[in-house]
Structure 1
Amino acid sequence: MWGSRSNRGNDSVDCIACGETTRRSDAREYDKEGDRWDRKGKQFEYLCKGCHTDLCHQPRDELEDLLVDIDAGGLAELEFLEAYWNAVEERYGPLDHER
């Protein structure tokens, strides 16, 4: 028969943002694909409550693809900002603010 759900959440997990270790039941699941409801074959990462509260909870459709396309992890901060700005304008049109 199925096991009890009461023993879930007793494990400790590490917050991917600050590194704090907390009980799984006190943490918030983070799914970098943005679909935490489709659970098949996924391993979730976790955020402590404080870091989860600090997150921007706006949709991020296409963001990860854009970051990969501009090689965001390999750029210095100013290079990243320039590449990001240009990629956003190229994909979505001119931004409202002047540089």
Structure 2
Amino acid sequence: MWGSRRTRESKTVTCIACGGSVRRSEAREYDKHGDRWERTGKEFEHLCKDCYRDLCHQPRDDLEALLVEIHAIEGTASQTAFLRRYDEIVEERYGPLEERER
């Protein structure tokens, strides 16, 4: 059905954030659509545990569409220009990002 657990645990995957190689059993699955429980027809990307901990685990509704929209506007602009435009659009739509007390 799913293959042996031993085979899955020995497989090596690449972290999409830092590029490091890590054993599959030591990685976390990442689904850009935010629904890792629906597995039919999907190939998951992976994050190492350190990069996974650094992620914001808040809902990311509309994120994929926003990134595609910015790419359509900016094209092959530099990473700095892309991120500047992302920040501008997010602030326009959702207001300024404020630091919150923990």
Q: Is residue 81 of structure 1 aligned with residue 80 of structure 2?
A: no
After TM superposition, give the deviation of residue 74 of structure 1 in Å.
Answer: 2.7
Residue by residue over 1:25-50, the C-alpha shift from the partner in whole angstroms, topping out at 9 and shown as x without a partner, is 01000111111000001111110000
Report if aligned partners of 2:15, 2:21 keep a CA contact under 8 Å in 1. Answer: yes
- Please tell me whether Structure 1 or Structure 2 has the larger radius of gyration of its CA atoms: 1
Given the two structures, how large is their TM-score scaled by the length of structure 1? 0.75
After TM superposition, give the deviation of residue 66 of structure 1 in Å.
Answer: 1.2
Change (3 A) 1:86 1:12: closer
Length, aligned pairs only: 93
Partner Cα separation in structure 1 for residue 34 and residue 86 of structure 2: 24
After TM superposition, give the deviation of residue 6 of structure 1 in Å.
Answer: 2.8
- RMSD, aligned α-carbons: 2.5
Q: How does 1:6-85 map to 2 (within 5 A)?
A: 6-7=5-6, 8-71=8-71, 74-76=76-78, 77-78=80-81, 80-82=83-85, 84-85=87-88
Report if aligned partners of 2:29, 2:45 keep a CA contact under 8 Å in 1. Answer: yes
Query: Which contiguous aligned blocks of 4+ residues in structure 1 show a shift greater than 6 angstroms?
Result: none
Report if aligned partners of 2:29, 2:44 keep a CA contact under 8 Å in 1. Answer: yes
Residue by residue over 1:28-77, the C-alpha shift from the partner in whole angstroms, topping out at 9 and shown as x without a partner, is 00111111000001111110000000111111100110121121663332
Gaps of 5+ in 1: none
Given the two structures, how large is their TM-score scaled by the length of structure 2? 0.73
Report if aligned partners of 2:13, 2:46 keep a CA contact under 8 Å in 1. Answer: yes
Change (3 A) 1:22 1:88: same
% of aligned pairs identical? 51
